[in-house]
Amino acid sequence: MTIQADNMLPAALREQWPYPPRFASVNGWRMHYIDEGEGDPVVLLHGNPTWGFLYRDIIGPLVRSGRRVIVPDMIGFGLSEKPVREQAHTLDGHSANLTALMRQLDLSKITLVCHDWGGPTGLSFAMSNKGRIRALALMSTWAWPPPAAEFHTRIFPWRMMHAPLVGPYFLGRHKALAGRGVYLSVVDREKFARTARAAYEAVLPDPATRLLTWVWPRWIPLDQEARAFERFKWLEQELSRSKFPTMIIWGREDEVFDAVTFSNRFKQMIPHAEGPHLVTGRHFLQEDSGPEIADLIRSFLDRLDERQVAQ
């Protein structure tokens, strides 16, 4: 099983991703994940178009602080199976994929860390499996029906990029999101290009493997007729009632889900949430502030542990 990771990742990047790959059959698909350390589980969820590598600076510190860290690659990304039909990808289907993995590993007391589409998929799992959840951490994501970010309503560049036929051309043939798209959404672009960009491009080597990069944008509800409108409405209602300890972390420079609008809306929905803690970062804030985010999550969990002991 290590052959796949070794073959796909450039040699220079393997040092940054030393974790033995594990695979589970979930909901009919082959899902890659890593499972490191011991303790209460922390599950780190990525979005479009990244994979577990996004959390490489966060995994080690959490493991060393006595946590079990599980990082799945969404079906369609990373080292997981990549379906070749658009119809294989639905919001509910991806939540069910995660649910299958969490149940197979029989995880409970989960701290769920959600970024981008890891938010709607992970939070749908959390709100339908509340008995398995301990806490939530939210980063550059959303969990409500329209209005989405103003960015997502614009033709240039967002709607144009994934328009019919244009999506398969820009994001498939030309890997616009997996390559330059991530590059444009970090603060330190020179460092990203030098140390990380190849890891995101390597796991999506061909146009067909990049299918989900243009399918996910089409699932962002822009009006009440959108496919996922009802799911997001439910998610908003459930999350608003949620009592789970929650932390909000956001990138100061985030231009996709800007901090003022999005982190504040989460804060209104979940008034007891800690934060928002602002760190250096655009949408892919883990690239610029991985160690700082790890420290925020670690100290958040330490405080929960202390409260638990005190009770």
- Tokens (6 digits) for 281: 């970062």
Least distance (Å) from other proteins to the CB of residue 217? 9
Q: Which amino acid is at 95?
A: S
Asked if 86 interacts with other proteins (CB under 8 A), we say yes
> Which of 218, 233, 252, 267 forms a contact with other proteins (CB under 8 A)?
218
Beta carbons within 8 Å of 188's beta carbon, 6+ residues apart: 287, 288
Q: Are the C-beta atoms of 161 and 167 separated by less than 8 Å?
A: yes
Least distance (Å) from other proteins to the CB of residue 165? 5
CB nearer other proteins, residue 77 or residue 183? 183
CB nearer other proteins, residue 215 or residue 235? 215
CB nearer other proteins, residue 159 or residue 252? 159
CB nearer other proteins, residue 15 or residue 225? 225
| DSSP string computed for 243-260 | -S-EEEEEETT-SSS-HH
Map residues 94-113 to x or -, x wherever contact with other proteins holds by CB under 8 A.
--------------------
> Under rule CB under 8 A, which residues in 153-182 are in contact with other proteins?
155-157, 159-170, 172-174, 176, 180-181
CA 81 – CA 97 distance, rounded (Å): 12
Least distance (Å) from other proteins to the CB of residue 154? 9
CA 141 – CA 249 distance, rounded (Å): 10
| DSSP string computed for 174-195 | T-IIIIIIHHHTSS-HHHHHHH
Provide the 8-state DSSP code for 115: E
Asked if 234 interacts with other proteins (CB under 8 A), we say no
Question: Which residues contact other proteins (rule: CB under 8 A)?
Answer: 85-87, 155-157, 159-170, 172-174, 176, 180-181, 184, 218
